[in-house]
Amino acid sequence: MNVHSNKCLRCHVSGRVQGVFFRADTQTKAQELGLSGFARNLNDGRVEVYACGPPMHLDGLKEWLRRGPTGASVTAVDCESAAGEHFNGFEVR
């Protein structure tokens, strides 16, 4: 798939998603899918995930975000298209 077909998403994940390795496990999943971007905790208890890559791989990440890692209890995942930014890999912030 050529690089020009890459898309970016910004997702906000709600529920019990902080203190359960959500960001680290999101990083692992994103790396498996070849995505770049970041995951960070927000002050309101949600996790923000920004990811760029092939649409099919972003769909895989969105599906994973709905479940999350063991110990998480996801109640909502809200995603929207985002402007592309350049990241080397996927980081936890």
Q: If we measure between CA atoms, which residue out of 64, 62, 69, 46 comes closest to residue 8?
A: 62
Q: Three-state SS for 39?
A: strand
- Does the annotation mark 93 as catalytic? no
Q: Which of 6, 16, 23, 66 is catalytic?
A: 23
Output DSSP code: residue 18: S
Q: Which of 16, 41, 46, 88 is catalytic?
A: 41
Q: Which token pair is 14?
A: 């709600």
DSSP state of 4: G
Active site (annotated) includes residue 40: no
Nearest to 85, CA basis, from 37, 21, 23: 37
User: Which of the residues are catalytic?
Assistant: 23, 41
